[in-house]
């Protein structure tokens, strides 16, 4: 059984988590774009009322920055080069321990983050290394209402 009670901050990867990891090149003016779930955005807004929610992602696209800005999230860890190095910064800023962080991801590098946080959640179609390192594997695939499922698990105590 997963213990959700210690979660004091939710951090998430973007590519392959909030999105299905597909990008489209729209030209020099706009650059790369991605598709985001409106329902995930609504879930993030609701969760943001209960705890800090922020991206911990290497994504540096203008579309990701716009999405995070519109959701009114702390964007300081958007476009980070090394997620493991960013983790202590987040802990200091929010006065929490890594064990109080729930991190949602999908990539091979996210497996290392899962080992450092209290609750590492992999999306259903994550890299095999991330799947094996996760404390919890979600039913949702990347870009398919991952945050909505997580909201239900964190706050409505849906069984794991």
Q: What is the pTM of this model?
A: 0.91
DSSP per residue over 92-146, as a string?
A: HHHT--GGGEEEEE-STTHHHHHTTSSEEEE-TT--HHHHHH-SEE-SSPTTSSH
- Mind listing the pLDDT tens digit of every residue in the chain (160 residues)? 677 889 999 999 999 888 887 776 777 777 766 778 889 999 999 999 999 999 999 988 888 899 999 999 999 999 999 999 999 999 999 999 999 999 999 999 999 999 999 999 999 999 999 999 999 999 999 999 999 999 999 988 655 5
- Kindly list the domain boundaries of the chain, sorted by start residue: 9-155
**CATH class of the region 9-155:** alpha beta
């Amino acid at each position: 059984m997963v213990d959700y009670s210690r979660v004091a901050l939710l951090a998430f990867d973007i590519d392959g988590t909030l999105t299905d990891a597909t990008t489209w090149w729209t030209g020099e003016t706009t650059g790369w774009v991605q598709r985001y779930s409106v329902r995930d955005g609504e879930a993030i807004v609701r969760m943001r009322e209960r705890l800090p929610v922020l991206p911990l992602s290497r994504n540096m696209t203008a579309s990701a920055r716009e999405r995070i800005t519109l959701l009114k999230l702390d964007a300081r860890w958007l476009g980070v080069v090394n997620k493991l190095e960013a983790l202590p910064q987040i802990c200091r800023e929010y006065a929490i321990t890594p064990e109080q962080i729930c991190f949602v991801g999908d990539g091979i590098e996210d497996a290392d983050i899962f080992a450092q946080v209290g609750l590492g959640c992999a999306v259903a179609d994550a890299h095999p290394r991330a799947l094996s390192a996760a404390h919890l594997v979600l039913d949702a695939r990347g870009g398919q209402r991952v945050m909505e499922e997580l909201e239900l698990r964190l706050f409505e105590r849906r069984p794991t």
